[in-house]
A and B are shown apart, each in its own frame.
Chain A
Amino acid sequence: MSGSKSLHDRIARTVREIPRSGIRDFFDIVSTRKDVISLGIGEPDFVTPWHIRDAAARALDRGQTSYTSNMGLLSLRRSIAAYVAKKSGIEYAPENEVLITVGVSEGLDLAIRALIEPGDEVIYHEPSYVSYNPIVQFAYGVPVAIQTKKENGFRLTRDELEAAVTPKSKLLLLNYPNNPTGATLSREEVEAVAAFAIEHDLIVLSDEIYDELTYDDDHYSIISVPGMRERTIYLHGFSKAWAMTGWRMGFTCAPPELTEAMMKIHQYTMLCAPILSQEAAIEALEQCGSDVERMKQEYMRRRNFMRASFEEMNIPCIEPSGAFYAFADVSQFGISAHQFALDLLEAENVAVVPGTAFGACGEGFIRCSYATSFDRIQVAMERIARFTESLS
């Protein structure tokens, strides 16, 4: 038909204007090549522990193929409440304060949509997970990025928070242990953020998906700070510590009013998380300790190895104290992070993610994931060393 708008023009403006993820672009380049050693993968290289897979298979055998309650299986919510209480000392009622979501990504989306009105500001810190900014925009909120600094090890400071806050600020989105930097916050630093949130009456979304993976000090959750439970949505899931990315299992813990609001959106959009994944998650929590510990041990050795290898190359790293990423500072080579990643791929067939995929302040850095086998990491580090020698 003549005169009709192009399909592209019919796409909602917000969606049209948000660029697709830089990770996606880089993935397209990498996937054209063969035999790449990838340090660009943001998920565990372990397969989900067998007893968890087995629990899902048994559930399937029993014919558990139905919907569950919108909130998720009550037995799973009970296990989650017990798990969170054991870690943080904070109790949530399984009946109305725990919601099972399809990955943390859904939890995040629900939380933002449940709270944000057009124009409300959401403060978050970059470098950050790639979804934060777009999810806020999809909800017609205004993302306000704090560019954390390498001098501070990309840890959020009170001063930076104070500079970002305005009368329109409604939410603070927090992610430590951090993807992509591997940074963690100390208890004192968490308390400072909490004091800020209380003073400015903000609600905090705390994405703590990597909290099991800290290597030097125990993780301290912001929900444990007095006065924070009532203003925090705690986001967590099974992907990282239990190596369950493909199961898409996440959960939120929050006061009843907030949980109810999120549940409403979840109910009308997602309905419920897949029942088999929920059954698997119950098993993960009932029998978890040793698997998580074993994988964490392995990550720690790889981290030590990667850190020591970068040290030998005189490439500084942000102290990789959590998650499974080393954020390495390659600014000394005088090319952009993006160019560095492209040239490294071209010269040595090693894939890393340029820090700029996670925000402008990631310039000069590359994210190297150590969620890959030790042998591959070893070869990758040799190749990076050879590559950087060729640059200097």
Chain B
Amino acid sequence: MNELLELVRKNGRETSENLAKMLGISEEEVMNQLEALEADGIIRAYQAVVNEEKLDHSLVTTVIEVKVTPESEGGFDRIAQRISRYAEVESLFLMSGTFDLLVFIKGRTMHEAAQFVSEKLATMAGVTSTATHFMMKTYKLNGIEMQSGEDDERLQISP
């Protein structure tokens, strides 16, 4: 596995100087590797992991299971692309199992999310059914524990 990729996955804001020191390579090499990963489309973006519950106006995440009729040309891809164009859609996956697409949307209220499902998603040609779930609480997001803090209870000096 690419070690550099593993490190920026954990902390996208790590300086190239620190990355170079950790990996025992030059800073220039770090920059080159990162540029290559970006150019190849492997690294798509660097984002912050946000604890929504700490915000005054937190966003509601809604997860929707969608069953669709695949088109004879383009299969699931075309309908998936149509869904992903909506700005509300945060993530979209093709799944195996009892439904086809799993859609994550973010909205200001549950009502807004419900509206999106009933007005935009369920009425879309090819969509045969939807099942909507509201996310209640986030325990862990992108590998980050959202509820617990980091306490170091070790003795300050030990042999």
Contact = CB atoms under 8 A, between A and B. Distances in A.
Contact of B156 (A38, A131, A304, A305): A38
Given A45-B154, A301-B7, A23 B22 contact: no
A21 interface: yes
Interface string A173-184: 000000100000
B18 interface: yes
Nearest to B17: A308
A40 B22 contact: no
Interface string A270-309: 0000000000000000000000000000000110110011
B21 A30 contact: no
Contacts of A305: 18, 21-22
Contacts of A40: 156-158
A38 B157 CA distance: 7
Interface string B20-39: 11111000000000000000
Contacts of A18: none
Interface string A370-392: 00111000100000000000000
B155 interface: yes
A99 B24 CA distance: 41
Interface in A305-344: 305, 308-309
Interface string B117-159: 0000000000000000000000000000000001010111111
Interface in B34-81: none
A27 interface: yes
B1 to A, nearest CB: 10
A247 to B, nearest CB: 14
A41 B21 contact: no
Interface of B is mostly: loop
B158 A304 contact: no
Contacts of A198: none
A16 to B, nearest CB: 21
B159 A309 contact: no
A30 B157 CA distance: 8
Most chain A CB neighbours (cut-off 10 Å) among B24, B150, B154, B158: B158
A55 B7 CA distance: 31
Nearest to A36: B156
Contacts, number: 57
Contacts of B150: 373
B159 A304 contact: no
Interface size, B (range): 10 to 19
Contacts of A27: 155-158
A301 B22 contact: yes
Given A130-B159, A301-B7, A45 B152 contact: yes
A99 B142 CA distance: 43
A308 B158 contact: no
A31 B156 contact: yes
B53 to A, nearest CB: 23
B159 A23 contact: yes
Contact of A308 (B21, B154, B159): B21
A156 interface: no
Interface string A81-121: 00000000000000000000000000000000000000000
Contacts of A372: 152
Given A129-B159, A130-B159, A43 B154 contact: yes
A359 to B, nearest CB: 12
A31 B154 CA distance: 12
A305 B20 CA distance: 8
A142 interface: no
A304 B22 contact: yes
A23 B158 contact: yes
Interface string A32-63: 00001010111101000000000000000000
Given A129-B159, A130-B159, A378-B18, A304 B154 contact: no
Interface of B: 7, 18, 20-24, 150, 152, 154-159
22 contacts: A23-B157, A26-B157, A27-B155, A27-B156, A27-B158, A36-B156, A38-B157, A40-B156, A40-B157, A41-B154, A42-B159, A43-B154, A45-B152, A301-B7, A304-B22, A304-B24, A305-B18, A305-B21, A308-B21, A308-B24, A351-B156, A373-B150
Given A27-B157, A41-B157, 18 more contacts: A23-B158, A23-B159, A27-B156, A30-B156, A31-B157, A41-B156, A45-B154, A131-B159, A301-B7, A301-B23, A304-B21, A304-B23, A304-B24, A305-B18, A308-B21, A308-B24, A351-B156, A353-B157
